[in-house]
Structure 1
Amino acid sequence: MSDLKDPRVLFAAERTLLAWNRTSLSLIAFGFVVERSGKLTFAISPEIISPDQMAGMLWLGLAFIILGAIASIFSARQYAIVLQTLTPHEFPPGYAAKWGLLINLTVAVLGLILALALWLWRLH
């Protein structure tokens, strides 16, 4: 439990959460680009890339997307733990500190939906 009675502790935790949010979004976007670059290469020059290489790019892209979603979930969990240690004096009046949690969890869910959609489209 913190006895600092200083809202800068909350804001530092929130900045860390936002940094992890950017990292999660970057991993998800990179995974999508990796997965789609295999399809683009196949569409442009099918002789350059084999079906095994395309499958490898799919799994690598899905791994990055899932890693981004996991990072988002765990960073939200860490932030929630920090919030529980703060006293009411460390929250500015009327400040909604839980929005960051909602955003990170939404990013995680959407990342997992993206991974599932890409995996299901592979079957077609």
Structure 2
Amino acid sequence: MAFGFVIERSGLLLQMLKPDALGSPERHFSFWIGLVFLMLDSWAACWSSWKYKRVVKAQKPIEIREGYASILAL
């Protein structure tokens, strides 16, 4: 997720280095690419949480260690 923020902010850095180019395409391109990375990372976090819940639910009670709170792992 941090990589998405870095890409998105790199457009701002390029704009600061070239202040005469207003509305430069690099700024817009990096914004959208960064946003795609952020959305992809958010989707991956939600998907992995869903998969974790399915795996824990599929385990038998004997397989879960005593005192283990699986909901806190999310």
Which TM-score tier does this pair reach, normalised by the shorter chain? 0.7 to 0.9
Which one-letter code corresponds to 1:98 in the other structure? I
Partner of 1:12: none
TM-score, structure 2 length as denominator? 0.87
Partner of 2:59: 86
TM-score, structure 1 length as denominator? 0.54
- The runs of 4+ residues in structure 1 deviating greater than 6 Å are none
Would you say how many aligned residue pairs link Structure 1 and Structure 2? 74
Would the aligned equivalents of 1:31 and 1:61 in 2 still touch at CA under 8 Å?
yes
Matches within 5 A, 1:97-116: 97-101=70-74
1:83 and 1:46 map into 2 onto residues whose CA distance is 53
Task: Name structure 2 gaps, 5 residues minimum.
Answer: none
TM-superposed deviation, 1:44: 2.1
Point out which structure has higher relative CO (alpha carbons under 8 A, 6+ apart). 1
Which one-letter code corresponds to 2:2 in the other structure? A
| Equivalent in 20, 28, 32 of residue 5 of structure 2 | 32
Q: CA 1:78/1:44 → structure 2, altered by over 3 Å: closer, same or farther?
A: same
| Equivalent in 17, 40, 62 of residue 67 of structure 1 | 40
> RMSD in angstroms over aligned alpha carbons?
1.8
SS in 1 for 2:69: coil
Structure index of larger Rg: 2
TM-superposed deviation, 1:49: 8.5
Would the aligned equivalents of 1:39 and 1:54 in 2 still touch at CA under 8 Å?
yes
2:22 and 2:36 map into 1 onto residues whose CA distance is 20
